[in-house]
Amino acid sequence: MQKPRIQKDIWLQEHRTSSTIPSVGGQKPADNVVALIEFLKENQIDCNKRVVDIGCGKGRNSIYLAQQGCEVFGFDYIELAIEHAQQQAQINNLADKIHFSVGAMDERWNFPDNYFDIAVDSFSSIDIETKQGREICKKELFRTLKPGGYALICVVAAHDEFEKELMSAYPGGELHSSLWPQNGKFQKNYDEHELKEFYSEFTLLSLREITKKAFKLNREFISTHYRMIVQKPENIDFK
């Protein structure tokens, strides 16, 4: 297992080069975030809501959400990424709709209780390098989400073709985890039971297994991930 915050140095390099994860430099929103907006509209849920984009990176999902009418609060612990995100908000004339800040997912978030209507975790918390850190992130998600609020949570499946090989050859020190050989990046993957159990204090609304062709580290493979939409129960606060 890594020492805490080695992961931060790895992600700083990623945002400088996009060498192993090209999507960090893109501006197209993630398919799962687009699917979240479709889910809200199909269920006649107003998209003009307050949203937190957890581990927002360079802001591609935040910008899309703001374009859909959301007031967005995006945070990430890489200052370089936040600077880029702020520039993109200005370019897209969305600076009044998006509030970017530097902050860590695995520490107390700088937001009040019951503040957000919607939360987005698009493959962000899986990069927290300790189980304790992921527990903190989950607790903060629950604390800051309003009762009845919705959360999109996307994670890589434990049976993903690429990750199965990495977990076997380069285990990350805990169940369903890996350390990428190219840079030592930690990643926590989930099977369906584990994912449901970890977020069991939320009400599960939708869980889909998504498979598609992907290209990573100069290799094409079939990627598999879970897209989960959950809801914070009404009249409950996380203590």
Give dist(CA 126, CA 144) in Å, integer.
Answer: 19
Q: What is the bridge-based pairing of β-strands 145-156 and 116-122?
A: parallel
Average pLDDT, the chain: 90
Q: Is residue 24 part of a domain?
A: no
User: Residue 32 domain-assigned?
Assistant: no
| CA–CA separation, 202 and 142 (whole Å) | 8
**Domain containing residue 136:** 6-12+47-231
- Tell me if 173 is assigned to some domain: yes
Stated pTM of the model? 0.90
- What's the pLDDT at 46? 87
SS3 content of the chain, % helix, strand, coil (to 5): 35, 30, 35
Would residue 41 count as lying in a domain?
Answer: no
Query: Per the domain annotation, does 239 fall within a domain?
Result: no
Cα distances (angstroms) measured from residue 100 to each of 88, 94, 113, 130: 11, 11, 19, 25
Over residues 2-28, mean pLDDT:
64
Whether residue 48 is predicted with pLDDT greater than 80 in this model: the reply is: yes
Pairwise pLDDT comparison (148 vs 184), residue with the higher score: 148
Asked whether residue 151 is domain-assigned, the answer is: yes
Can you say how many angstroms the Cα of residue 15 is from the centroid of all Cα atoms in its chain?
16
As a whole number of Å, the end-to-end CA separation of the chain is 30
Task: Give the tens place of pLDDT for each residue, 124-148.
Answer: 999 999 999 999 999 999 999 999 9
Query: Residue 159: pLDDT above 80?
Result: yes
Residue 237 pLDDT: 46
- Which pLDDT belongs to residue 154? 98
pLDDT of residue 12: 64
